Amino acid sequence: MNSLDLSSLHPHTSPDGRILHITLDHGRVNEMGSTELRDWEQITAQLIDGAAQALITSSNKTTRSGKRIFIAGANVTERSEWDDAQVKAHVRWQRETLAALRRVPAFHVTVVDGLALGWGTEFMLTADYRVATPNARFALPETGIGILPGAGGTSELSRVIGPNQALRLGMTGEQIDAQEALRIGLVDELAEDNEAAQARASELAQLAARRSPTAVGAFKRGVLASLAMSESDRTELEARAYELCVDAGEAAIGRANFKAIIAGESVEWGPRRDA
């Protein structure tokens, strides 16, 4: 994974290659533009085809005044000479890139320790679990500059926090703190500080990385795909996902090593198999 030619992201992997950690630290405020989108496409492709079973995203960015930054928006500067068609195509690219990252067959936990504005809040929607610190702040300011959150903030945010809270954030641009984000479900857990948040993210990633990659990937696909399905379709999807684990031999490995797994020992799972 470290051999990737990434110009904006800083990846490193755990010694066993099962956990990928992306540290954001680029530009003035980790703004997301074309360079970053190309890098995220590479990361997504590697997570689909590679061995990593967990992804941690966080940021090291601090402004000169000491303000912590997660992602403070899109790179609007690069669009200064673009026509309307280019802008629309670019935002479609953003939306498709984040949607693909959301579906990777790995457990994605993100740590937010600072400002997550616009694209930063939308990026969080790609994560399976979100840990924040008291430094975290969230907002969708787009409607104040004549646009709307176009990389998932309009179409996906309400699935996480409900339509009323999504309308509140998107239509008013109100900035909320970490406690309020926890209350409405925008984040899943609040840590004491960045060190504690990183430790918690690492703990969760390690738990996911120890499990069957086929089972973890199938479970995530089943959960996400079932959100818009009828009950009968959801149960059939679950049945096919379970049977994939059986057909891949992972269920047999689990049965054969049950006592070792219960005792907390590591097990050699097979390579990830997709449906």
Residues 197 and 95 in one domain: yes
Residues 129 and 233 in one domain: no
Say which residues have a Cβ less than 8 Å from residue 28's Cβ, sequence separation at least 6. Answer: 63
Tell me the C-alpha distance between 20 and 14, whole Å: 7
Residues 222 and 100 in one domain: no
Q: Domain range for residue 239? A: 212-262
Q: Mapping DSSP to helix (H, G, I), strand (E, B) and coil, where does residue 267 land?
A: coil
Q: How confident is the model at residue 23 (pLDDT cuts 50, 70, 90)?
A: very high
Alpha carbon of residue 264 to chain centroid: 27
Is residue 154 scored above 60 in pLDDT? yes
Of residues 270, 268, 272, the one with CA closest to residue 260: 268
Total domains in the fold of the chain? 2
Residues 171 and 52 in one domain: yes
* The model's pTM: 0.88
Say which residues have a Cβ less than 8 Å from residue 20's Cβ, sequence separation at least 6. Answer: 1, 11, 12, 13, 14, 43, 46, 47, 52, 54, 55, 56, 106
Average pLDDT, the chain: 91
CA dihedral (258, 264, 270, 271) in degrees, to 10, reads: 150
Is residue 1 scored above 50 in pLDDT? no
Q: For 170-178, what is the mean pLDDT?
A: 96
Q: The tokens of 203 are what?
A: 């703990």
- What's the CATH code of the domain at 120? 3.90.226.10
Residues 163 and 252 in one domain: no
Q: Is residue 4 part of a domain?
A: no
Residues 103 and 227 in one domain: no
Residues 119 and 201 in one domain: yes
Q: Is residue 203 part of a domain?
A: yes
Tell me the C-alpha distance between 78 and 86, whole Å: 11
In tens, the pLDDT along 134-150 reads 999 999 999 988 888 98
Residues 181 and 220 in one domain: no
Q: For 95-111, what is the mean pLDDT?
A: 96
Residues 110 and 30 in one domain: yes
Q: Return the higher-pLDDT residue of 112 and 248.
A: 112
